[in-house]
Amino acid sequence: MIWVDTIVQGILLGGLYALFAAGLSLVFGIMRLVNLAHGDLIVLAAYLLLVIVSMLGLNPFVAALVAMPVMFAIGYGLQRFVLNRVLGADILPPLLVTFGLSVVIQNVLQEGFSADSRRIPAGTLETASLPIGPVTVGLMPLLTLLSAIGVILALQWLFYRTSLGRAFRATSDDPVTAGLMGIKPQRVFAQATGIAMVVVTIAALYLGTRSNFDPTIGPARLIYAFEAVIIGGLGSLWGTLAGGIIIGVAQTLGAAINPEWQILAGHLAFLLVLLVRPRGLFPRAND
């Protein structure tokens, strides 16, 4: 029975990793950009939520609604004024710029909020749980997984049912031709990064309420997100969810055997998938 419990907890944890990964997957899918500062942007959003919650005394979920437009603007501006300049055939400039950004964000947060670990207070929700069949699950972890599914459904709808989504897909396929049809790729990219930052805000909400965070934890979140994307297969959002769940289950199983093996088990699961299915479990994109 303990194993069933461990696996259920792992699946729920996977929801959090899928949320980390969804923004990364979205941006990569549209502009082939890998943002090395993605994890640090999640942490930045978590601090933004912390400030809103503690200054305005809002519920974290309401605070997330306030933070979303702010993060959208940050993402839009970042893409418009910085990242658009370095997009191109050469992968080096975007990698190095986002790597520099990662270091800058970490240290700005360190300067502003000190290295102490913090947590967003969520009141009684933090400890609430409900029994499902033989296992008891925490309400927050359950909400995380449901939010991850909700985010993926919303992104799918956005991609395949709206004109903005059509512009995303067109620009992803061929920016030059899309430009001839009156789409401005630069603006489309900025909107995509803005939306990715809205997803990042949702990820930050659960990161910050479920566990402690400090300015240095961003890179590790980036790595989990990246592993989820690769395991799922590039370009597949449902694959990303599956990838997140695989990492989550591997981590909780590893931790059940030896607490020191939690993170290592997640990485090993990733390497194993890379070994047997180099293009991921559900590959869609051709690049």
What's at 133, amino acid-wise? G
222 binds another protein (CB under 8 A): yes
Site membership for another protein, residue 214 (CB under 8 A)? no
Q: Is 260 in the site for another protein (CB under 8 A)?
A: yes
Judged by CB under 8 A, the stretch of 26-34, 46-54, 186-194, 240-248 that binds another protein is: 26-34
Per rule CB under 8 A, is residue 14 in the interface with another protein?
A: no
Q: How far apart are alpha carbons 193 and 78 in whole angstroms?
A: 8
Tell me whether residue 149 or residue 274 sits nearer to another protein (CB atom). Answer: 274
Q: How far is the CB of 235 from another protein (least distance, A)?
A: 12
Q: Which residues contact 215 (CB under 8 A, 6 or more apart)?
A: 43, 47, 106, 107, 109, 110, 113, 115
Q: Could you say which of 13, 145, 188, 230 contacts another protein (CB under 8 A)?
A: 230
Q: Which is nearer to another protein, 85 or 161 (CB)?
A: 85
CB-based contact 198:42 (threshold 8 Å): no
226 binds another protein (CB under 8 A): yes
Residue 151 identity: V
Nearer to another protein among residue 1 and residue 275 (C-beta): 275
Q: Which of 54, 56, 73, 93 lies at the binding interface for another protein (CB under 8 A)?
A: 93
Q: Which of 102, 63, 104 is nearest to 202 (CA)?
A: 63
**Is residue 275 involved in binding another protein (CB under 8 A)?**
yes
Q: Is 248 in the site for another protein (CB under 8 A)?
A: no
Q: Return the range that interacts with another protein (CB under 8 A); candidates 10-18, 57-65, 92-100, 173-181.
A: 92-100
Q: Are 202 and 47 a contacting pair, CB within 8 Å? A: no
> What would the x/- binding string for another protein be over residues 59 to 78, using CB under 8 A?
--------------------
Q: For residue 73, how many other CB atoms are within 10 A of its CB? A: 12
**CA–CA separation, 236 vs 189, rounded Å?**
19
Nearer to another protein, 112 or 123 (CB): 112
Q: Which CB, 55 or 92, lies closer to another protein?
A: 92
Residue number, 58 or 263, with CB nearest to another protein: 263
Q: Which is nearer to another protein, 31 or 53 (CB)?
A: 31
Angstrom CA distances, 76 to 93, 171, 192, 262, 287, stand at 19, 17, 8, 36, 25
Q: Which stretch binds another protein (CB under 8 A): 11-19, 102-110, 142-150, 237-245?
A: 102-110
